[in-house]
Amino acid sequence: MKAGRSSAAVGVLLACLAAPGFAAEPALADSGCVPAGQLRGDAANGAVLHGKYCAECHGASGKGDVIVMHMDTPPKDQSDSAYLKTLPDAFLYLAICQGGEAVGRSFIMPAWGDLLSDQDIRDLVARIREFSGT
C-alpha cells in the first residue's frame, strides 16, 4: 500500500501546516481570545504548562536556548527584561492564543487557543513574566 502510506504522510504534513487557527471544533481561538481584565494568572501552573508545551522551542527558562532545526526565526530571549518590557500582557496573551502570525510574528509560533483554556493562557503569561522579572 505505497500510495496509501504517502497520502497519509501528506495528510499529517497538511495537518501540521494548518494546525494554527484550524480546528473543526469551535475553539477559544475562534470564539474570542479576549485579553480582558487581569492577564497574569497562576505562574506555578503556568510553569507546568510551559514545560509541557513551550519549553521545546522556548527553553525551560524562556531563553530560547534550544536547537530546533526548522525555525528560521528562532524565539527571542524571554528572560531579557528590556525586550519583555516592550510587550504588553495583551500581546503575550494574543500571541499564545492566536499564534505568531496573528500578531505579526513567525507562523512557527503555534496558536494555543484550540488546546488551552483562557485561564491556562493567563497562567502562561504570568510564567513568562517570571523569566524576565517584568
Positions in the binding site for ligand HEC (CB under 6 A): 53-54, 56-58, 71, 73-76, 78, 87, 92, 95-96, 100, 105-106, 108-110, 112, 124, 128
Q: C-beta of 49: minimal distance to ligand HEC in Å?
A: 6
Q: C-beta of 32: minimal distance to ligand HEC in Å?
A: 17
With respect to ligand HEC, which residue has the nearer C-beta, 2 or 52? 52
With respect to ligand HEC, which residue has the nearer C-beta, 30 or 107? 107
CA 126 to each of CA 19, 30, 31, 42, 93: distance values in angstroms, whole numbers, following the listed order: 25, 23, 23, 6, 10
With respect to ligand HEC, which residue has the nearer C-beta, 6 or 65? 65
With respect to ligand HEC, which residue has the nearer C-beta, 7 or 73? 73
Q: C-beta of 116: minimal distance to ligand HEC in Å?
A: 7
Contacts of 76 (CB under 8 A, 6+ apart): 64, 83
Cα-Cα-Cα-Cα torsion 47, 49, 54, 56, nearest 10 degrees, comes to: 90
Query: Which has the closest alpha carbon to 61: 82, 47, 41?
Result: 47
Decide if 117 contacts 28 (C-beta within 8 A).
Answer: yes
Q: C-beta of 80: minimal distance to ligand HEC in Å?
A: 9
Answer left, alpha or beta for residue 62, where phi above 0 means left and psi between -120 and 50 means alpha.
left
